[in-house]
A = this chain, B = another copy of it.
Amino acid sequence: MSIRARIIGIDPGLRFTGFGIIEAEGNRLRHVVDGVIGTDGAAPVAERLRALDAALTRLLESYAPEFAAVEETYVNRNATATLKLGYARGVALLAPARAGIAVAEYGAKTVKRAVVGTGAAEKTQVGLMVRRLLPGATITRADAADALAVAICHAHHLATARRVPAA
């Protein structure tokens, strides 16, 4: 017996936040929707975060995923950029939590390993594998591919967790 799980993956950023929703049933994956939420770079930060939160909340209401997965962010940038990334990532973690959805976090290497088979994969390889695994994906920007990749990673994690026999 396998259970169908609907998963949203989020790749957060203040300027562009990628999202991707998939359905996983055992090892089978199905693409539901993907895209990018952009916020107005000229608007105050609080307003940009409000717009991002509103867009994510609408997605969660419309597609009702049971699981959310967010990519752990690179922090090897300058402090101001890291802080801005923190704002967007905070909203990306908060929006599903507020909707009562469990939120998982995965490091970039874990995502690459799940999608390509090696944690050292190039970004382009990840995008190619995501398109192969999810033929219906639109992926207008790399952020959407990254979001779908973290959703796929969580699907693998759920499938593996279910294969472990109960104690």
Contact = CB atoms under 8 A, between A and B. Distances in A.
Interface of A: 44-47, 49-50, 53-54, 70, 73, 75-77, 79-80, 82-91, 93-94, 96-98, 103, 105
13 contacts: A46-B105, A49-B97, A50-B98, A53-B98, A54-B98, A82-B83, A83-B83, A83-B89, A86-B86, A86-B89, A86-B90, A87-B90, A90-B90
- Number of copies of this chain in the oligomer? 2
A24 to B, nearest CB: 20
A75 B90 CA distance: 17
Given A46-B97, A97-B50, A98-B50, A83 B80 contact: no
Contacts of A90: 49, 86-91, 94
